[in-house]
Amino acid sequence: MSEIVIDISDTSADIRVDTGRLLFNMGGEEKKVALRDIGSLIISNPAVRITQAVMTGLLASGATLICCDNRHMPTGMLIPTEGNYIQGERIGLQVDCSKPRKKRLWQQTVKAKIRAQGRLLKNETGSSWGLIHLASKVASGDSNNIEGHAARIYWKRIFPELNFIRDRYARNQNRLLNYGYAVLRATMTRAICGTGLHPSLGLHHHNKYDAFRLANDLMEPYRTVIDKIVCNWMQNTPENTEVSKEWKSFFFDQMANPLTIENEKRCLMDCCTRTSFSLVQCLSGKATKLLFPKII
Protein backbone atom coordinates (compact mmCIF):
# COMPACT_ATOMS: atom_id res chain seq x y z
CA MET A 1 0.00 0.00 0.00
CA SER A 2 1.12 3.57 -0.70
CA GLU A 3 2.34 5.21 2.47
CA ILE A 4 4.24 8.41 1.61
CA VAL A 5 2.49 11.54 2.89
CA ILE A 6 3.72 14.77 1.30
CA ASP A 7 2.90 18.02 3.11
CA ILE A 8 3.64 21.32 1.35
CA SER A 9 3.16 24.24 3.71
CA ASP A 10 6.36 26.26 3.97
CA THR A 11 7.16 27.01 0.35
CA SER A 12 5.57 27.79 -2.99
CA ALA A 13 5.61 25.00 -5.54
CA ASP A 14 4.62 24.09 -9.08
CA ILE A 15 3.48 20.47 -9.31
CA ARG A 16 3.06 18.55 -12.55
CA VAL A 17 2.99 14.98 -13.83
CA ASP A 18 5.73 13.37 -15.88
CA THR A 19 5.69 9.68 -16.87
CA GLY A 20 4.08 8.33 -13.72
CA ARG A 21 5.81 10.71 -11.34
CA LEU A 22 4.95 13.98 -9.66
CA LEU A 23 7.51 16.71 -10.26
CA PHE A 24 7.75 19.35 -7.53
CA ASN A 25 9.49 22.58 -8.52
CA MET A 26 10.13 24.52 -5.30
CA GLY A 27 12.17 27.67 -5.71
CA GLY A 28 14.28 26.20 -8.49
CA GLU A 29 14.79 22.89 -6.68
CA GLU A 30 13.08 19.95 -8.37
CA LYS A 31 12.00 16.74 -6.65
CA LYS A 32 10.37 13.66 -8.15
CA VAL A 33 8.12 11.09 -6.48
CA ALA A 34 6.44 8.12 -8.16
CA LEU A 35 2.66 8.47 -8.07
CA ARG A 36 2.27 4.86 -6.96
CA ASP A 37 4.28 5.62 -3.80
CA ILE A 38 2.11 8.55 -2.65
CA GLY A 39 -0.59 7.97 -0.06
CA SER A 40 -1.68 11.58 0.47
CA LEU A 41 -0.68 15.01 -0.80
CA ILE A 42 -1.43 17.79 1.69
CA ILE A 43 -1.37 21.38 0.41
CA SER A 44 -1.56 24.31 2.82
CA ASN A 45 0.40 27.01 0.99
CA PRO A 46 -1.69 29.33 -1.21
CA ALA A 47 1.23 29.69 -3.63
CA VAL A 48 1.13 26.02 -4.66
CA ARG A 49 -0.03 25.42 -8.24
CA ILE A 50 -1.22 22.05 -9.53
CA THR A 51 -2.73 20.80 -12.78
CA GLN A 52 -5.76 18.69 -13.52
CA ALA A 53 -3.36 15.93 -14.53
CA VAL A 54 -1.91 15.98 -11.01
CA MET A 55 -5.34 15.51 -9.46
CA THR A 56 -6.38 12.70 -11.79
CA GLY A 57 -2.96 11.07 -11.45
CA LEU A 58 -3.25 11.02 -7.67
CA LEU A 59 -6.77 9.62 -7.78
CA ALA A 60 -5.87 6.97 -10.36
CA SER A 61 -3.07 5.75 -8.09
CA GLY A 62 -5.41 5.59 -5.08
CA ALA A 63 -4.03 8.65 -3.28
CA THR A 64 -5.94 11.47 -1.60
CA LEU A 65 -5.49 15.22 -2.03
CA ILE A 66 -6.05 17.27 1.14
CA CYS A 67 -6.38 21.07 0.99
CA CYS A 68 -5.75 23.25 4.06
CA ASP A 69 -6.51 26.83 5.05
CA ASN A 70 -4.06 29.54 6.15
CA ARG A 71 -3.99 28.00 9.65
CA HIS A 72 -2.78 24.72 8.08
CA MET A 73 -6.02 23.00 9.07
CA PRO A 74 -7.62 20.62 6.51
CA THR A 75 -10.71 22.06 4.82
CA GLY A 76 -11.39 19.50 2.10
CA MET A 77 -10.36 16.18 0.63
CA LEU A 78 -10.42 14.66 -2.86
CA ILE A 79 -10.67 10.86 -2.94
CA PRO A 80 -10.94 8.17 -5.65
CA THR A 81 -14.52 7.22 -6.55
CA GLU A 82 -13.63 3.77 -7.86
CA GLY A 83 -11.36 1.81 -5.59
CA ASN A 84 -12.34 -1.80 -6.26
CA TYR A 85 -13.57 -3.80 -9.24
CA ILE A 86 -16.57 -5.16 -7.32
CA GLN A 87 -17.45 -1.82 -5.80
CA GLY A 88 -21.10 -1.96 -6.91
CA GLU A 89 -21.68 -5.29 -5.16
CA ARG A 90 -20.09 -4.10 -1.93
CA ILE A 91 -21.96 -0.82 -1.89
CA GLY A 92 -25.10 -2.94 -2.26
CA LEU A 93 -24.11 -4.81 0.91
CA GLN A 94 -23.85 -1.46 2.71
CA VAL A 95 -27.26 -0.33 1.51
CA ASP A 96 -28.88 -3.64 2.49
CA CYS A 97 -27.29 -3.82 5.95
CA SER A 98 -30.01 -4.14 8.58
CA LYS A 99 -30.30 -1.73 11.48
CA PRO A 100 -29.69 -4.48 14.11
CA ARG A 101 -26.46 -5.50 12.35
CA LYS A 102 -25.31 -1.88 12.17
CA LYS A 103 -25.98 -1.53 15.89
CA ARG A 104 -23.96 -4.64 16.71
CA LEU A 105 -21.05 -3.44 14.57
CA TRP A 106 -21.17 -0.02 16.20
CA GLN A 107 -21.17 -1.71 19.61
CA GLN A 108 -17.92 -3.48 18.68
CA THR A 109 -16.42 -0.23 17.41
CA VAL A 110 -17.21 1.69 20.59
CA LYS A 111 -15.88 -1.13 22.76
CA ALA A 112 -12.61 -1.13 20.81
CA LYS A 113 -12.34 2.66 21.12
CA ILE A 114 -12.91 2.71 24.88
CA ARG A 115 -10.49 -0.17 25.45
CA ALA A 116 -7.85 1.71 23.47
CA GLN A 117 -8.51 4.86 25.51
CA GLY A 118 -8.18 2.84 28.71
CA ARG A 119 -4.87 1.34 27.61
CA LEU A 120 -3.51 4.77 26.68
CA LEU A 121 -4.57 6.20 30.04
CA LYS A 122 -2.87 3.31 31.82
CA ASN A 123 0.25 3.90 29.75
CA GLU A 124 0.27 7.64 30.49
CA THR A 125 -1.07 7.80 34.06
CA GLY A 126 -0.66 4.30 35.50
CA SER A 127 -4.42 3.67 35.65
CA SER A 128 -7.12 2.97 33.09
CA TRP A 129 -9.57 4.89 35.31
CA GLY A 130 -12.16 2.17 34.87
CA LEU A 131 -12.40 2.45 31.09
CA ILE A 132 -11.46 -1.17 30.38
CA HIS A 133 -14.34 -2.29 32.62
CA LEU A 134 -16.62 0.38 31.18
CA ALA A 135 -16.06 -0.98 27.66
CA SER A 136 -17.74 -4.24 28.68
CA LYS A 137 -20.95 -2.35 29.45
CA VAL A 138 -21.47 -0.99 25.92
CA ALA A 139 -24.88 -2.09 24.64
CA SER A 140 -25.96 -2.72 21.05
CA GLY A 141 -25.80 0.60 19.20
CA ASP A 142 -24.30 2.08 22.39
CA SER A 143 -27.86 2.89 23.42
CA ASN A 144 -26.64 3.68 26.95
CA ASN A 145 -24.06 6.21 25.64
CA ILE A 146 -21.08 4.61 27.34
CA GLU A 147 -18.91 6.32 24.70
CA GLY A 148 -19.90 9.72 26.06
CA HIS A 149 -19.33 8.64 29.67
CA ALA A 150 -15.88 7.29 28.77
CA ALA A 151 -15.00 10.49 26.90
CA ARG A 152 -15.67 12.63 29.97
CA ILE A 153 -13.29 10.48 32.01
CA TYR A 154 -10.70 10.22 29.25
CA TRP A 155 -10.30 13.86 28.25
CA LYS A 156 -10.15 15.04 31.85
CA ARG A 157 -7.15 12.80 32.52
CA ILE A 158 -5.21 12.49 29.28
CA PHE A 159 -3.91 16.08 29.60
CA PRO A 160 -4.57 16.67 33.34
CA GLU A 161 -2.11 19.51 33.89
CA LEU A 162 -3.79 21.58 31.18
CA ASN A 163 -7.42 21.30 32.37
CA PHE A 164 -8.09 20.07 28.85
CA ILE A 165 -11.50 20.09 27.17
CA ARG A 166 -11.93 18.54 23.74
CA ASP A 167 -13.01 21.47 21.54
CA ARG A 168 -12.28 21.28 17.83
CA TYR A 169 -12.16 25.10 17.59
CA ALA A 170 -9.89 25.80 20.58
CA ARG A 171 -6.41 27.18 19.91
CA ASN A 172 -4.40 24.73 21.98
CA GLN A 173 -3.45 21.08 21.53
CA ASN A 174 -6.86 20.64 19.93
CA ARG A 175 -5.22 22.00 16.78
CA LEU A 176 -2.72 19.15 16.82
CA LEU A 177 -5.50 16.62 17.37
CA ASN A 178 -7.57 18.11 14.55
CA TYR A 179 -4.65 17.90 12.13
CA GLY A 180 -3.90 14.32 13.13
CA TYR A 181 -7.52 13.21 12.92
CA ALA A 182 -7.79 14.71 9.42
CA VAL A 183 -4.78 12.71 8.23
CA LEU A 184 -6.21 9.60 9.91
CA ARG A 185 -9.59 10.20 8.25
CA ALA A 186 -7.89 10.44 4.84
CA THR A 187 -6.03 7.18 5.48
CA MET A 188 -9.18 5.36 6.55
CA THR A 189 -11.10 6.78 3.58
CA ARG A 190 -8.48 5.43 1.18
CA ALA A 191 -8.72 2.02 2.81
CA ILE A 192 -12.52 2.05 2.60
CA CYS A 193 -12.48 2.96 -1.10
CA GLY A 194 -9.77 0.38 -1.73
CA THR A 195 -11.99 -2.39 -0.39
CA GLY A 196 -14.91 -1.34 -2.58
CA LEU A 197 -17.02 0.32 0.11
CA HIS A 198 -18.45 3.84 -0.05
CA PRO A 199 -17.23 6.23 2.67
CA SER A 200 -20.53 8.12 2.94
CA LEU A 201 -22.61 5.05 3.93
CA GLY A 202 -21.96 4.83 7.65
CA LEU A 203 -22.86 2.48 10.47
CA HIS A 204 -23.64 5.13 13.07
CA HIS A 205 -22.67 8.64 11.98
CA HIS A 206 -25.57 10.07 10.00
CA ASN A 207 -25.00 13.80 9.44
CA LYS A 208 -26.36 14.38 5.93
CA TYR A 209 -23.59 16.91 5.25
CA ASP A 210 -20.85 14.41 6.13
CA ALA A 211 -19.40 12.70 3.05
CA PHE A 212 -17.15 10.45 5.16
CA ARG A 213 -19.55 8.89 7.64
CA LEU A 214 -18.12 5.38 7.38
CA ALA A 215 -14.57 6.70 7.73
CA ASN A 216 -15.64 8.56 10.86
CA ASP A 217 -17.16 5.32 12.19
CA LEU A 218 -14.22 3.01 11.56
CA MET A 219 -11.52 5.46 12.61
CA GLU A 220 -12.91 5.81 16.14
CA PRO A 221 -10.69 3.13 17.76
CA TYR A 222 -7.72 4.54 15.82
CA ARG A 223 -8.04 8.01 17.33
CA THR A 224 -5.82 6.99 20.23
CA VAL A 225 -2.96 6.66 17.71
CA ILE A 226 -3.21 10.42 17.25
CA ASP A 227 -3.84 11.07 20.95
CA LYS A 228 -0.66 9.20 21.86
CA ILE A 229 1.41 11.19 19.36
CA VAL A 230 0.06 14.45 20.79
CA CYS A 231 0.79 13.22 24.34
CA ASN A 232 4.38 12.50 23.36
CA TRP A 233 4.72 15.93 21.74
CA MET A 234 3.18 17.79 24.68
CA GLN A 235 5.48 16.06 27.17
CA ASN A 236 8.49 17.60 25.43
CA THR A 237 7.04 20.91 24.21
CA PRO A 238 3.93 21.70 26.31
CA GLU A 239 3.77 25.33 25.16
CA ASN A 240 4.04 24.57 21.44
CA THR A 241 0.59 23.80 20.06
CA GLU A 242 1.11 25.30 16.61
CA VAL A 243 0.74 23.07 13.57
CA SER A 244 4.36 23.83 12.74
CA LYS A 245 6.97 22.30 10.47
CA GLU A 246 8.56 20.72 13.55
CA TRP A 247 5.24 19.25 14.67
CA LYS A 248 4.52 17.78 11.24
CA SER A 249 7.96 16.18 11.05
CA PHE A 250 7.46 14.65 14.50
CA PHE A 251 3.90 13.61 13.65
CA PHE A 252 4.75 11.73 10.46
CA ASP A 253 7.75 10.04 12.07
CA GLN A 254 5.44 8.75 14.81
CA MET A 255 2.73 7.75 12.33
CA ALA A 256 5.23 5.41 10.68
CA ASN A 257 5.37 3.23 13.80
CA PRO A 258 3.71 -0.16 13.18
CA LEU A 259 0.59 -1.37 14.97
CA THR A 260 -0.32 -4.93 15.95
CA ILE A 261 -3.30 -6.53 14.24
CA GLU A 262 -3.99 -10.29 14.23
CA ASN A 263 -0.61 -10.79 15.94
CA GLU A 264 1.23 -9.09 13.07
CA LYS A 265 3.06 -5.77 12.95
CA ARG A 266 1.53 -3.66 10.21
CA CYS A 267 1.64 -0.05 9.06
CA LEU A 268 -1.39 2.17 9.67
CA MET A 269 -2.66 1.91 6.10
CA ASP A 270 -2.55 -1.89 6.16
CA CYS A 271 -4.42 -1.94 9.49
CA CYS A 272 -7.12 0.37 8.12
CA THR A 273 -7.46 -1.88 5.09
CA ARG A 274 -7.87 -4.95 7.29
CA THR A 275 -10.52 -3.16 9.34
CA SER A 276 -12.36 -2.16 6.16
CA PHE A 277 -12.19 -5.66 4.70
CA SER A 278 -13.41 -7.16 7.98
CA LEU A 279 -16.48 -4.93 7.58
CA VAL A 280 -17.00 -6.37 4.09
CA GLN A 281 -16.89 -9.86 5.61
CA CYS A 282 -19.42 -8.87 8.28
CA LEU A 283 -21.77 -7.28 5.76
CA SER A 284 -21.66 -10.39 3.56
CA GLY A 285 -22.34 -12.71 6.50
CA LYS A 286 -18.92 -14.38 6.34
CA ALA A 287 -17.83 -12.97 9.71
CA THR A 288 -19.37 -11.34 12.77
CA LYS A 289 -16.45 -9.37 14.22
CA LEU A 290 -14.66 -6.26 13.05
CA LEU A 291 -10.87 -6.29 13.24
CA PHE A 292 -9.07 -3.43 14.95
CA PRO A 293 -5.39 -3.16 15.90
CA LYS A 294 -4.07 -3.10 19.43
CA ILE A 295 -3.05 0.54 19.64
CA ILE A 296 -1.12 0.49 22.92
CATH of region 4-78, choose from 3.30.1120.130, 3.40.50.300, 3.30.56.10, 3.100.10.20: 3.100.10.20
Domain ranges of the chain: 4-78, 87-283
pLDDT in tens, 48-102: 999 999 999 999 888 888 888 776 666 777 877 665 567 788 889 999 999 999 9
Say what the pLDDT of residue 45 is: 87
Say what the pLDDT of residue 85 is: 60
Say what the pLDDT of residue 82 is: 65
The parts of the chain modelled with pLDDT lower than 50 are 1
Say what the pLDDT of residue 74 is: 67
The architecture of the domain spanning 87-283 is Up-down Bundle (1.20)
Q: pTM of the full predicted structure? A: 0.80
Say what the pLDDT of residue 72 is: 67
DSSP the chain: ---EEEEE-SS-EEEEEETTEEEEEETTEEEEEEGGGEEEEEE--TTEEE-HHHHHHHHHTT-EEEEE-TTS-EEEEE--S---TTHHHHHHHHHH--HHHHHHHHHHHHHHHHHHHHHHHHHHHS--TTHHHHHTTPPGGGTT-HHHHHHHHHHHHHSGGGT----TT-SSHHHHHHHHHHHHHHHHHHHHHHTT--TTS-SS---TT-TTHHHHHHTGGGHHHHHHHHHHHHHH-TT--S--HHHHHHHHHHHTS-EEETTEEE-HHHHHHHHHHHHHHHHTTS-S-----B--
Say what the pLDDT of residue 239 is: 79
Say what the pLDDT of residue 212 is: 87
